Amino acid sequence: MAETAARREGAGRLFCERDGCMADITEVDYIWKNGELVPWAEATCHVLSHSLHYGSGVFEGIRCYKVPDEDKSFVFRLRDHMERLHRSCKIAQIELPYSADELMDATLEVIRANKLPACYIRPLVYRGYGVMGVDPTGAPVDVVIAVWPWDAYLGADALENGVAVGISSWRQRSNNAIPPAVKATASYMNSILAKMEAKAHGYAEAIMLNEAGLVCEGTGENLFIARNGVLSTPPLSDGLLEGITRDTVLCLADDLEIPAVEESLTRSDLYIADEVFMTGSAAELTPVGSVDGRVIGKPGEITRALQDRFFDLVYGRIDEYADWLTEV
């Protein structure tokens, strides 16, 4: 896994290693907004924008990877992310004025304009300035794509050594409150509360249960466990986001002939698991070293095998997944 750590050189000063939190953002030159590149400092919105008051926005998180020792970069599953953004807008009844293809082209444009070999990508669709009140009718829709260098989401050594997590007292939203299929800005309020609670208790991340008390997901990640050689992850019906990295891991497990099932999990299942890891575009495949103080241990064989194959994939070394990579 030395390559995993080495690939992050020069990624910017984004994290406080003491607690694994995002410390600041490394500014670049441009942000794509409503069809054009604008200077970073000018990509602003009005303080009375609808989304600032009522959370009426949807977004994505995507990564662009630089191939080690090569002058080549790939955006991972760009089309899948932009198609999910469209699905989020459909559920949230936000009229997105750009096609998935146009958003993909805009993503490549802003990466190239900022001359970034590797970066995090944040498309955001939000209701802007024009109306006030819960009813968003008449509010204009603004679309931005920001890119910046971003290091390991849960801390500098998280991918290598794992992180400590705790079960949150905050429950994940239900399917009939804010649909988990929508990656909505509003739905992250309980993630924020759970994250702050976890940090206050000395954990890098929180695991959230659903209203039935079953394991759902992290504050921004899906969750897997391994026990007796079998990989398990909660089903979408338990209220979690349909993660693109989650789907990737299930495909990679099949490649490696690792048995994998989608099944409901309890917190006790986490305590007695042989391995636990979290997945997401930001978190990638981050091992969990302990849950509520119960030691899981160092990343195990299944986690390591999936990590290795994941990075082989995003670096373009697996031909069968070439259509998941968009070269910059």
CA distance 150 to 132: 35
Neighbours of 40 (CB within 10 A): 14
Q: Which residues contact 224 (CB under 8 A, 6 or more apart)?
A: 231, 232, 233, 246, 249, 276, 277, 278, 279
Longest dimension (CA), the chain: 57
Measured CA to CA, the distance from residue 165 to residue 144 in angstroms comes to 33
Tokens of 223: 């969750």
Dist. CA 220–CA 298, nearest whole Å: 22
- Burial class of residue 181 in the structure, from the number of CB atoms within 10 Å of its CB (0-12 exposed, 13-18 middle, 19+ buried): middle
Which residues are catalytic, by number?
183
DSSP conformational letter for 11: -
Tokens of 219: 């504050």
